[in-house]
Amino acid sequence: MNKFELRKINSLLRKSLNQVEASDKIVLKIKSLSDFLNAKNILIFYPLKFEINLLELLKVEGKNFYLPKVKEDYLEICPYEGELIKGAFNIMEPLTKPVLPSVIDLAFIPALAADKDLNRLGYGKGYYDRLFSNPLFSAKKIAVINKELVVDKVPTDNFDIKVDAIITD
């Protein structure tokens, strides 16, 4: 199966899943992760329709949270300070100025598919591959994904960058 076909199949499958329940489970798991407990500067993402929603994490005290902002063909990392506006692709994003990617120590990443070898499939724009390939980015990368969307083998190209772990519901 190629990336295009897998995106189509998993997008369709994802629409049938209970994302409120799955998100609650994943948020609970994250809150007990030592990586999370030890991290100070954490990148999450504003969920698109049908994506896992981690926004509940923003209520955790003692952490700095960041959200990505789509800028042309790359992602900026902006501190979350409570206020959000609609940005590119209608995704909510902070109004704050971006920080250097080196600030982030832990990053939670959305995925449309993932496999046990930690390969990740996105929507086909390669935003996260580009962020991960930035030498200033050294955070631990954890993909959050429904268990139903984990496959045997995600098709990969040489520019694809693996995540460091996967969390499912």
Cα–Cα distance between 139 and 73 in angstroms, integer? 20
Using CB under 5 A as the criterion, what x/- string covers residues 147-166 for binding Mg ion? -------------x------
Instruction: Report the residue number whose CB is nearest to ligand ADP.
Output: 126
Residues that bind ligand ADP (CB under 6 A): 3, 121-126, 129-130, 133, 157, 159-160
CB of 6 to Mg ion, least distance (A): 11
Phi-psi region of 124 (alpha: psi -120 to 50; beta: other; left: phi over 0): left
CB of 155 to Mg ion, least distance (A): 10
71 vs 130 by CB, closer to ligand ADP: 130
Using CB under 5 A as the criterion, what x/- string covers residues 75-94 for binding Mg ion? --------------------
In this structure, are strands 64-71 and 74-79 parallel, antiparallel, or unpaired? antiparallel
Which SS3 state, helix, strand or coil, does residue 60 take? coil
> Which tokens is 6 given?
């897998």
Q: Edge-to-edge strands of the sheet including 74-79?
A: 74-79, 64-71, 41-43, 106-110, 140-144, 165-167
| Site size with Mg ion, rule: CB under 5 A | 2
63 vs 71 by CB, closer to ligand ADP: 71
